């Protein structure tokens, strides 16, 4: 259907829905909130401007090209990997509604969607102890012995199929060839398209050999696409020198950045074993480069030569090879362990392709960026890319690519909040840091009401929450002015401009800035907004998002000239001396220590806490990377349960856990005493317009980017 026809159709729909307005602009803007599928924020630029669009050429012709596999055609080169949003599924013996909705969204993007059968056996078992996780149900065994759930599963499979995607159903566990064939046929009859044959991760060539007869038999007996999974080990990581300091070389000074090595970033590390704070194993850093976790029990994957040999064995029997790094942390990489353009498994895919193997490669873990993905496929480094979180962060990923607007794709910050905020002590829910509606029930999403009129809106504060609120209000059709007292947008996220180790967060900050510009929001920089000034301008609505400031420390000497707050530690990094003491840890303090250490500074972190990052901030995977680095990086030392007594004469004095008075050399001191929400200043805006709403950190209920973004979206959706 042409765009004009579709717009006409939309207008008719709105008229039928009683939503037509005398103002064409208002009608189009209001359209977005009457039906989420017509969300103005997702509209094509031409639709927003009302102009007819030119034919859009495919800017990602390789990523979005078809691929024939056995008797099927894949609709693009994207494979969705196993990534069940655990907390969306309750103890039901069937996929819950929001769980099914999530998979439907994945199917709008990926050619293959991998479902995971988290629907426990009947009768279900669960621990009733006080310390039990509220999510224990998710690891219960397999669903298929429970006849009543099959219809729900079939429904879910159908909901994926109708988007033109294939369903991968995970691994075929069977002890004999006959059993494997029987099960595979059963799955084929149920409508699954792709199955994984073999161990979850082949630990070596012998393990592959043990599965070859099953691969061959299932291939002969069915038309299923056969997926193999290898979890390779980044070269030199698990089998490096024992002390971990050798091999690729440790950084010798400031600014060394990434060491050279395979994929331009990896270096051997070896196996110094230190128990991770999360109680989960340990690892070894790569100094100025990638922290290479080495001693997790699962960090024993095959290295390059072995992988190539394994591929030689299965080539022709398996169709698709999915790979992610074997490391417990590095298989959920973030900006501290991976360079943006060097996902850890790309080198394996490339070597496999260069070996002449026919198997379709689908490397996984950090393959987020469309331009890079397209380039890697174009240059023959891989056939496909496999991904999970980019599609959570933006379920419109592929649609935006077809519309040629990759810059509108919400970048995933690789934080793994979606993996569960906490698995142990709770809270037991999944959220996305950058997608405020992800994981919510359809009922909750439908509770967002359309605006009743176009309003004049002021947003106070140009941090992430202010920007998100301004964008949301503008997408709802309001006329928005954004006031920022500083000379740039970004708020606390501006620290990412000064370090290369938080590139995913910088990308998100830059995305928000771009969207503010594209949404037609009037931005007033260097303009501190006062309640009186706002009152005089006659806004209908004021959204106050003035955030939080680093708290001021009362430690003696904290006002010295070599003492910096956490934000200044980034923006004035060049003026820091070589030996830096960071007082106060937490997520922010620890990540600052890592950024500085990776750039060559010698860091001592002193905290009064028992551990650097509190338990409640350690969800699955993400923080484990940071803990690994903070405990093992040669440039970082830690003093836990210590009390700082003063800062003076190039040193910090403190009482250690045993009560001993000590001091440590400090050319510079960075203090992180937490963030102080600007609640009082925010409350002063009360009465400056008919509707004044507070959001983000300044409400006192923020504290994380996820909370402020969700708050910004829902508060602005009330306007």
Binding site for ligand SF4 (CB under 6 A): 389, 392-393, 412-418, 432-435
Q: Which does 393 bind (CB under 5 to 8 A by kind): ligand SF4, ligand FMN, none?
A: ligand SF4
195 touching ligand FMN, by CB under 6 A:
no
In the bound complex, what is the minimum distance in angstroms from residue 484's beta carbon to ligand FMN?
32
Beta carbons within 10 angstroms of residue 238's beta carbon: 25
- By CB under 6 A, which span of 75-83, 373-381, 636-644, 671-679 interacts with ligand FMN? 75-83
In the bound complex, what is the minimum distance in angstroms from residue 114's beta carbon to ligand FMN?
8
User: Binding residue for ligand FMN (CB under 6 A) from 294, 389, 422, 472?
Assistant: 389
Closer by beta carbon to ligand FMN, 84 or else 281? 84
Q: Which does 317 bind (CB under 5 to 8 A by kind): ligand FMN, ligand SF4, none?
A: none
Residue 195 β-bridge partners: 226
- By CB under 6 A, which span of 159-167, 352-360, 383-391, 600-608 interacts with ligand FMN? 383-391
φ and ψ at residue 374, rounded to 5 degrees: -65, -40
- By CB under 6 A, which span of 21-29, 78-86, 584-592, 656-664 interacts with ligand FMN? 78-86
Kindly give, in sequence order, each residue whose CB lies less than 8 Å from that of residue 650, ignoring residues fewer than 6 positions away. Answer: 562, 665, 666, 667
Are the beta carbons of 438 and 416 closer than 8 angstroms? no
Closer by beta carbon to ligand FMN, 295 or else 364? 364
Q: Which two tokens stand for residue 550?
A: 């680093």
What's the distance, CA 289 to chain centroid?
A: 21
In the bound complex, what is the minimum distance in angstroms from residue 127's beta carbon to ligand SF4?
27
Report the C-alpha dihedral over residues 678, 684, 689, 690, rounded to 10 degrees: 90
395 touching ligand FMN, by CB under 6 A:
no
Closer by beta carbon to ligand SF4, 319 or else 408? 408
Residue found under tokens 């190539």: 308
387 touching ligand FMN, by CB under 6 A:
yes
Question: Measured between alpha carbons, how far is 492 from 601 in angstroms, rounded to an integer?
Answer: 22
Grouping H, G, I as helix, E, B as strand and the rest as coil, residue 617 is helix
Q: Which does 434 bind (CB under 5 to 8 A by kind): ligand FMN, ligand SF4, none?
A: ligand SF4
Q: Which does 586 bind (CB under 5 to 8 A by kind): ligand FMN, ligand SF4, none?
A: none
User: Binding residue for ligand FMN (CB under 6 A) from 268, 291, 366, 550?
Assistant: 366
Distances (CA, A) of 329 to 116, 231, 232, 247, 445: 21, 13, 13, 21, 33
Question: Measured between alpha carbons, how far is 263 from 268 in angstroms, rounded to an integer?
Answer: 12
Burial 672-683 (b: 16+ CB within 10 A, else e): bbebebbbebbe
Residue 675 β-bridge partners: 550
Question: Measured between alpha carbons, how far is 271 from 71 in angstroms, rounded to an integer?
Answer: 45
Closer by beta carbon to ligand SF4, 105 or else 361? 105
Are the beta carbons of 618 and 627 closer than 8 angstroms? yes
450 touching ligand FMN, by CB under 6 A:
no
Closest CA to 7 of 21, 27, 22: 27
137 touching ligand FMN, by CB under 6 A:
no
Beta carbons within 10 angstroms of residue 486's beta carbon: 15
Closer by beta carbon to ligand SF4, 83 or else 579? 83
Kindly give, in sequence order, each residue whose CB lies less than 8 Å from that of residue 280, ignoring residues fewer than 6 positions away. Answer: 296, 328, 624
What's the distance, CA 50 to chain centroid?
A: 34
Q: Where in 12-71 is the site for ligand FMN (CB under 6 A)? A: none
User: Binding residue for ligand FMN (CB under 6 A) from 28, 332, 476, 506?
Assistant: 332
In the bound complex, what is the minimum distance in angstroms from residue 256's beta carbon to ligand SF4?
28
Closer by beta carbon to ligand FMN, 280 or else 518? 280
435 touching ligand FMN, by CB under 6 A:
no
Closer by beta carbon to ligand FMN, 28 or else 324? 324
Q: Which does 579 bind (CB under 5 to 8 A by kind): ligand SF4, ligand FMN, none?
A: none
Helix ranges restricted to H, 405-554: 442-446, 464-475, 503-518, 531-537
What is the size of the binding site for ligand FMN (CB under 6 A)? 20
User: Binding residue for ligand FMN (CB under 6 A) from 116, 545, 617, 682?
Assistant: 116
What's the distance, CA 104 to chain centroid?
A: 19
Q: Which does 351 bind (CB under 5 to 8 A by kind): ligand FMN, ligand SF4, none?
A: none
Distances (CA, A) of 585 to 142, 232, 592, 672: 41, 33, 9, 7
83 touching ligand FMN, by CB under 6 A:
yes
User: Binding residue for ligand FMN (CB under 6 A) from 219, 237, 324, 633?
Assistant: 324
Grouping H, G, I as helix, E, B as strand and the rest as coil, residue 688 is coil
84 touching ligand FMN, by CB under 6 A:
yes
The residues that touch ligand FMN, with contacts defined as CB under 6 A, are 81-85, 116, 324, 331-332, 364-367, 387-390, 416, 418-419
């Amino acid at each position: 259907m042409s765009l004009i026809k579709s717009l006409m159709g939309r207008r008719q729909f709105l008229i039928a829905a009683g939503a037509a307005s005398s103002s064409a602009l208002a009608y189009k803007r209001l359209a977005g909130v009457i039906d989420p599928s017509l969300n103005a924020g997702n509209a094509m630029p031409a639709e927003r401007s009302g102009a007819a669009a030119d034919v859009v050429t495919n800017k990602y012709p390789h990523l979005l090209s078809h691929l024939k596999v056995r008797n099927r055609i894949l609709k693009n080169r994207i494979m969705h990997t196993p990534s069940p949003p655990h907390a969306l599924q309750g103890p039901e013996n069937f996929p819950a509604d929001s769980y099914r909705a999530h998979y439907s969204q994945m199917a709008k993007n990926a050619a293959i969607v991998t479902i995971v059968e988290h629907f426990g056996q009947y009768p279900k078992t669960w621990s009733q102890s006080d310390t039990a996780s509220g999510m224990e149900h998710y690891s219960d065994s397999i669903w298929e012995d429970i006849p009543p759930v099959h219809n729900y599963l079939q429904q879910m499979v159908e909901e994926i199929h109708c988007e033109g995607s294939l369903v991968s159903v995970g691994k075929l566990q069977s002890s004999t060839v006959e059993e494997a064939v029987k099960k595979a046929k059963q799955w084929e009859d149920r409508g699954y398209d792709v199955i994984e044959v073999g161990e979850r991760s082949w630990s070596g060539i012998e393990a592959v050999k043990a599965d070859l007869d099953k691969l061959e038999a299932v291939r002969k007996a069915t038309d299923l696409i056969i997926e193999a999974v290898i979890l390779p080990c980044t070269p030199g990581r698990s089998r490096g020198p024992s002390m971990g300091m050798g091999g690729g070389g440790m950084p010798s000074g400031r600014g060394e950045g990434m060491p050279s090595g395979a994929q331009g970033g990896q270096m051997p590390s070896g196996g110094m074993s230190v128990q991770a704070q999360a109680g989960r194993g340990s690892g070894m850093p790569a100094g100025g480069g990638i922290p290479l976790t080495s001693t997790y029990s699962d960090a024993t994957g095959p290295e390059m030569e072995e992988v190539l040999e394994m591929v030689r064995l299965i080539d022709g029997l398996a169709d698709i090879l999915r790979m992610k790094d074997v490391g417990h942390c590095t298989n959920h990489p973030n900006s501290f362990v991976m360079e943006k353009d060097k996902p850890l498994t790309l080198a394996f895919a490339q070597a496999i392709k260069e070996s002449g193997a026919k198997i379709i490669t689908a490397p996984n873990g950090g393959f987020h960026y469309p331009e890079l993905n397209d380039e890697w496929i174009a240059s023959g480094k891989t056939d496909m890319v496999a991904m999970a979180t980019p599609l959570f962060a933006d379920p419109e990923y592929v649609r935006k690519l077809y519309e040629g607007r990759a810059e509108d794709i919400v970048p995933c910050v690789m934080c793994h909040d979606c993996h569960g905020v906490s698995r142990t002590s709770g809270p037991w829910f999944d959220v996305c840091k950058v997608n405020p509606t992800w994981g919510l029930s359809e009922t909750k999403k439908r509770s967002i009401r359309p605006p009743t009129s176009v309003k004049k809106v002021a947003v106070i504060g140009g941090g992430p929450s202010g920007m998100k609120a301004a964008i949301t209000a503008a997408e709802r059709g309001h006329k928005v002015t954004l006031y920022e007292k500083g000379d740039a947008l970004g708020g606390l996220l501006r620290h990412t401009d000064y370090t290369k180790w938080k590139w995913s967060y910088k990308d998100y900050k830059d995305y928000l800035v771009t969207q503010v510009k594209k949404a037609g929001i009037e931005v007033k920089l260097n303009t501190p907004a006062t309640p009186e000034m706002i009152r005089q301008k006659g806004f209908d609505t004021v959204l106050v998002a003035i955030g939080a400031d680093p708290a001021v420390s009362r430690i003696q000497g904290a006002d010295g000239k070599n003492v910096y707050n956490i934000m200044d530690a980034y923006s004035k990094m060049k003026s820091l001396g070589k030996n830096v003491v960071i007082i106060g840890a937490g997520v922010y303090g620890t990540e600052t220590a890592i950024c500085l250490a990776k750039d060559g500074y010698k860091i001592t972190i002193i905290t009064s806490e028992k551990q650097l990052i509190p338990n409640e901030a350690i969800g699955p995977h993400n923080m484990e990377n940071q803990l690994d680095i903070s405990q093992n990086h040669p440039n970082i030392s830690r003093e836990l349960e210590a009390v700082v007594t003063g800062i003076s004469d190039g040193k910090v004095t403190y009482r250690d856990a045993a009560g001993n008075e000590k001091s440590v050399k400090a050319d510079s001191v960075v203090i992180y005493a937490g963030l102080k929400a600007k609640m009082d200043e925010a409350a002063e805006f009360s009465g400056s317009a008919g509707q004044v709403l507070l959001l983000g950190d300044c409400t006192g209920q923020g504290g994380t980017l996820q909370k402020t973004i969700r708050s910004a979206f829902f508060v602005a959706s009330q306007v």
